[in-house]
Amino acid sequence: MIDSAVIDARRLNELKAQSITLRIQRTSPLIPEIIHHIKKLVPEVDIQLAQHGLGSDWLDRYDFEFSTHPIKGNENILLLAEEILVATSINSELSSFDTIKLEQLKEQKIIMTSPTPLREIIEDHFKKSKILIKPEFVTSDLSTLFGLISENIGIGFIPEMSWNTTVKPRIHLAHLGPNTLKRKLYLSYLPSLEERKYHDSVKNAILKYFETLTTKIEFIYCKI
């Protein structure tokens, strides 16, 4: 019985050592691609997902977190700094503009996501110009968001890299003026976790993915 218990404990520790937990603030189109990339480079690791808001008991159980701001006490690696673009239908009166000014959006119907860190960044940007956003529609589903925009029901806001891989062809993207709006994305983790098995391999796989993502978006822009 004792020998069996020891063997079971070892197996449990081995399984735990092969498991890596990614913590996310909100669901993102990139998450499946990131997991696929990790599994491709580190096939022996088991990936678990934890979402912000699941409870404080998750706080010390994740290996990596994707965050829009550096987390105090953690190691924080900047993955990307991306522009937030204005998305309109190709049939919109705004589709001829490469840069759309804040004033031009005052009379437009705005489509936003449910409250997220990204939405907070956008709303704070408008508040600085004393413009209050009152969304005409709110949805947490990106397919619905893109569909409403492409049908010219309203305009939205799309991060150039992390969402641009899923943008519909009937959507026009423009810069927001007069001041460009950007957000940052960090990979954050506790320094004490660096000695964990597979930690370094998974971290390098994530960094490699974002290098590839940046190159892919640059290629798309060059091609256009």
Closest by CA to 212, choosing from 32, 79, 24, is 79
Structure tokens at 8: 């079971």
Name the E strands within 105-162.
111-112, 137-138, 156-159
- What is the tens place of the pLDDT at every residue in 128-151? 888 888 899 999 888 899 999 999
If DSSP codes are grouped into helix, strand and coil, which group holds residue 181?
A: coil
Domain 82-183 listed as CATH 3.40.190.290: yes
Write down the domain spans for the chain: 2-78+184-223, 82-183
Give strand pairing partners of 101.
Answer: 177
pLDDT at 27 over 70: no
pLDDT at 221 over 70: no
Q: What is the mean pLDDT of residues 47-67?
A: 71
Q: What is the mean pLDDT of residues 187-199?
A: 90
Domain 2-78+184-223 listed as CATH 3.40.190.10: yes
pLDDT-derived band at 35 (thresholds 50, 70, 90) equals very high
CA gap 2, 165 in Å, rounded: 54
Contact status, residue 134 vs residue 112, Cβ threshold 8 Å:
no
pLDDT-derived band at 57 (thresholds 50, 70, 90) equals very low
If DSSP codes are grouped into helix, strand and coil, which group holds residue 80?
A: strand
